[in-house]
Structures are given as structure tokens and as C-alpha cells.
Amino acid sequence: MSKVTTPEKLFDVPDPTDPLAAPALMARAEGVVEKHAALLEPLARAFHERGETLYMVGGSVRDAMLGRGVHDLDFTTSARPAVIQEILGEWGEKVWDTGIEFGTVSAIRRGETVEITTFRSDLYDGVTRNPEVTFGDTLEGDLVRRDFACNAMAIELSLDDDLRLSPTFHDPVDGLSDLVAQVLDTPQAPEVSFRDDPLRMLRAARFVSQLGFTVADRVFDAMRDMAGEIERITAERVQAELDKLMCGARPWEGIDLLVATGLADRILPEVPALQLETDEHMQHKDVYRHSLTVLRQATELEEDGPDLELRWAALLHDIGKPATRAPKEGGGVTFHHHEVVGAKLARKRLKALKYPKHVIEDVGQLVFLHMRFHGFGEGQWTDSAVRRYATDAGDLLPRLHKLVRADCTTRNAKKAARLQRTYDELEDRIAEIAAKEDLARVRPDLDGNEIMEILDLKPGPEVGKAWKYLKELRLERGELDHDDAVAELKAWWEKERA
């Protein structure tokens, strides 16, 4: 692909050709300031009395214009950190200065959090993304160093002659035009911006996912040409951006941008590798496109907001296919056991990205289990198979249901309906057996103490083997009464000792 496009808008933004578009968006942002006037007016007066200026800035202004809702209020100011700290100490109910070396002080009042940072004009060494912190003297100098023009607008908390709040809009890099057009472009040349901080390239993909924006042609070209610079960024920072991307409204578009620019080759190489493989059902252009479709469909099945582990499993569920590709007799290809290989690759990649152990294990297990449903013929699920499916998934079962349904992407309407109907029947079977047998707590019919007493054993590996045998028996045949369980255990033990 050459450029990433967005099919529809996520937010109510006026038509770019409408001459009233820009004033309407400015009014939205100023309305947010006015909505918080009772809170912000005393703050603005305090800065005014010190001879300092104060501006709402960045994502707060952008989100206000998009109607996203503004939860935390970000500001920049001419005041130096010590002055900010003094003012917030009087204004706020609680103040913290963990970022004061970077010029940032935060406070909370009446449930609202504000973060105020001194104008910055940092210097970068082109080796790390950590700048030499330098405080600036102008708003324009602060805004031009920001990542994207749509994040470089400001609303001054200015006061009228009666010292009442009278917000004033500032847009020295024309971010408003980009916002109306829903385009991500950099205030400076993108090559300069990304060389200063390569993480901004990942932020571009993240905003594509979160906001539904496209990237300007020159931004796309710079991301492609400078993809190698991302290796200056630590795995922890990459992971943090990927989290935000994956939990955005359109994660498949953010991933697509990473792949198209070559950034994914550096941080998530298993995903672009899928472009080399043709889906064995010939339903999709390639397995990569299929994986993006599964990711999109998985997000549509979510019920309580973004599910990071489900989304990662959806994206990575087929990454074992390149390593397992083999020609099929009569034409086509197969990917036998790609779920086993894929689970290992998913765990390895997420570990390299410094994900928590529980995320690594959950995503790996979902990838491992995603083909289990397809291993059984339609309507041929035995009670034993149903028990194993549910117990192997454990707490992941609700996610596995969504993943398997999302993976049914055939364009054949009759086949798609048949697959969904079959899965409906499986869920009904699970619910039916669970109601009778409490599948969430499937355990052998005899516990370890009973096993040791019946077989006259002391604690050791033999007890574990006996326990495992009884659990397999429980899964295969369902609950046994006590006498039958004892008889089965004794028969098994006789064979073991023979």
C-alpha cells in the first residue's frame, strides 16, 4: 500500500469547505474553558497577578474541538516551575511535583486535575529521545516543538478589564486546518521532528487508531524513510504506545500504518510477515488482511470497552502460518499446527515488548486455542470435547468465544451463517453442561488425600499421576459416584504396577 486512508469520520467535525468550520471548532474549545470558569478563573488571576500568562494546550484543546470530552486539563505558561508550584500550592487541594525537573507541576481541585508546564524549547542530541530540558520564553516557541500541529493549538486564559475570564485562541502553526481536515502533520519538517523524538512516529499510528485521522504525505514518507530510528526507543516506551494504539477506536488502521511504513518490521515483525502468505481458503488477499479483519471484528464484539488481550490475540492469532506453510495435494497450501507455533511466537514477541506475564500467557493461550473449534465437525461435539474446550480455556472462555467468532471471515454468506450457528450450538452445549457439572471447577472425583489413603501412598509423583488420570477421566466421562471413582482408580493403579 502507499498511503493509509480512513473510510469514515469518528467525530463530528464540520466539512472543511464550510467557512464556519474553524469558528465552530474554536467555539467548542472556548466553551470547555467557560464550562470550567469557576475553577479556572481564580487560577488565571493568580498567574495574571504574577505577570505570567497561562494557556490550555495540546490534547485538551484538540479533544475539546472534537467533542471527545476533556478529563484532565493541560496548560503551558511563561512562569517558571517554582512560581507554578507556589500558585498551585495556594489554588489546589493536592499538589505533586514529580515532573518539576521537566517544568511540570500538577494539582487537583474539586475533582479536576490540571497539569501545568513551563514553556519549553528543548535541545535533542539525535541519539536518544531524552532532550536537554530548556525553558522557553514564548508560546510560539513551545508550540512549534510539539509532535503534531493539531496538538499545537492553545487557548489563553486571558482576563478582561473586570478580571473576568475571556479566553483567546492561538494557533501559530495552523493546527486548526489540520484538525478540520483530520490530518496529522508536524509543525516542523517531519524529518526534524522524528529525529528529535522517533517515538512520534508511533504516536502518529496511535492517533490514526484513536482519532481516525490520516497522516500527511510528507509524514508518511518520513516515517517510511526513518523507520530505523525507532530502535533508539526503549521497549517499555514502544509498549506504552502500542497499548494506546491497540485500545483505540480503529487499531487495525494504526497497525496498517506501521506495516505500510516499515515500522512494524522493527517492532512487530511477525505481523508484516503475514503479507507473504495466501490464506488457504482463498477468502482474503493474504493472511495479513485477514488478521486485520479479525482484529476489527473482535473489537465489534466487545461489550465493556477495549479488551487489550482479546485485540492482541486477534491480531497475532495466525502469526504461526509463515513457519508452517506447506503445499497441499491437489493445490493450495496448509498451515498445520500454526496455532502451536503462533502461541510460542506471540509469547516471545510480547515478552520482548516487556508486557506483564499475565498478558503474555493469556494472549499465548488464546492463540493456542483459537483453532480448537475448527477441529471438530459440525454437530459432532461430544460431552468430553465440550468439557475439555471449556476447562482448557478456563477464565479465557468469554474471550475465546469472541476470538473464534471474529475469525469466521468467509465471504460465503451461507458458510458464515453455518459457522456462527455451529458456534451458537457449542456455546449452548457449554452452558448446559456447566449448569449440571460446574465446569468452572472441574476436578477429579477424588482428592489427593483420598488417593493416598486408597492406594496407601505417601506424598510424591505417584499421587500426581493418579490425580491427573482421574481428572482426564472426569473430563471424558463426567462426574462419577464415589464407588465408581475408587474402582477406576484401583484398576488404573494395578495396570501402573504391572
Reported as a pLDDT band with limits 50, 70 and 90, residue 445 is low
Residue 32 has which C-alpha cell?
Answer: 470547555
DSSP H helices, 281-324, are 287-301, 308-316, 321-324
Lowest mean pLDDT among 170-179, 277-286, 405-414: 277-286
Average per-residue pLDDT for the chain: 87
Nearest alpha carbon to residue 221 among 190, 195, 183: 190
Could you give the angle at the alpha carbon of 63 between the alpha carbons of 296 and 119, nearest 5°? 125
Q: What is the pLDDT of residue 127?
A: 64
- Please say if the pLDDT value at position 173 is more than 90: yes
Nearest-5° Cα angle at 381, 377 to 387: 140
Architecture of domain 278-439: Orthogonal Bundle (1.10)
What value does the mean pLDDT take over residues 365-373? Answer: 92
Q: What is the pLDDT of residue 21?
A: 81
Cα 456–Cα 462–Cα 466 angle in degrees, nearest 5: 85
pLDDT above 90 (res 469): no
Question: Quick one: cell of 63?
Answer: 479533544
What is the per-residue pLDDT for 440?
52
At 418 the pLDDT is 80
Q: Which residues pair with 104 in a beta bridge?
A: 117
Residue 7 — pLDDT band, cuts 50, 70, 90?
very low
Lowest model confidence (mean pLDDT) among 143-157, 260-274, 334-348, 422-436: 422-436
Predicted pLDDT at 5:
47
Examine the pLDDT at 215 and tell me if it is beyond 50. yes
204 within 8 A of 223, measured Cβ to Cβ: yes
**Residue with cell string 467535525:** 13
C-alpha to C-alpha distances, 446 to 295, 296, 493, nearest whole angstrom: 43, 45, 14
Highest mean pLDDT among 284-298, 310-324, 373-387: 310-324
Integer Cα distance of 312 and 319 in angstroms: 11
Q: What is the pLDDT of residues 179-194, one digit of tens each?
A: 999 999 999 999 999 9
Average pLDDT over residues 368-384: 76
Q: What is the tens place of the pLDDT at every residue in 283-301?
A: 445 889 999 999 999 999 9
- How far apart CA 426 and CA 431 sit, in angstroms, is 9
| 228 vs 226: CA distance, rounded Å | 5
Confidence of residue 200 (pLDDT cuts 50, 70, 90): very high
Residue 279 has pLDDT above 60, yes or no: no
pLDDT score of 125 = 59
Please, which pLDDT band fits residue 391 given cuts at 50, 70 and 90? confident
Q: What is the mean pLDDT of residues 109-119?
A: 93
Average pLDDT on 351-380 reads 87
Whether the predicted pLDDT of 450 surpasses 70: yes
**Quick check: 232 pLDDT over 60?**
yes
Predicted local confidence at residue 283, as pLDDT: 45
Per-residue pLDDT at 124: 64
Identity at 213, one-letter amino acid code: F
Q: Identify the residue with better confidence: 153 or 16.
A: 153
Gyration radius of the chain's alpha carbons: 29
Protein fold of 21-187? Beta Polymerase; domain 2 (3.30.460)
**204 and 219 in contact (C-beta within 8 Å)?**
yes
Which residue shows C-alpha cell 535533542?
124
Domain spans, the chain: 21-187, 189-268, 278-439, 445-497
The pLDDT, as a whole number, for residue 284 is 43
Q: Which CATH number is 189-268 given?
A: 1.10.110.30
Selected residue with higher pLDDT from 14 and 201: 201
Section 478-482 average pLDDT: 75
Top-confidence residue, 101 or 483: 101
Separation of alpha carbons 348 and 56, rounded Å:
42
Name the pTM for this structure. 0.83
pLDDT of residue 99 exceeding 70, the answer is yes
Integer Cα distance of 58 and 203 in angstroms: 14
- pLDDT value at residue 451: 80
pLDDT at 182: 92
C-alpha cell at position 299: 473489537
**Is residue 471's pLDDT more than 50?**
yes
The pLDDT, as a whole number, for residue 122 is 67
What percent of the chain shows pLDDT beyond 70? 89
Q: What's the rounded Cα separation, in Å, for the pair 173 and 144? A: 7
* Model pLDDT, residue 2: 38
Q: Are 298 and 314 in contact (CB under 8 A)?
A: yes
Residue 37: pLDDT over 50: yes
Report the C-alpha gap between 82 and 118 in whole angstroms.
Answer: 10
Reported as type and span, the H/E element at residue 76 is strand 72-77
Task: Give 303's DSSP letter.
Answer: S
Average confidence (pLDDT) over 402-418: 81
| Residue among 435, 426, 429 at smallest CA distance from 400 | 426
Greater pLDDT, 154 or 17: 154
What confidence tier does 381 reach under pLDDT thresholds 50, 70, 90?
confident
More confident residue, 119 or 372: 119
Least confident of 11-20, 108-117, 232-241: 11-20
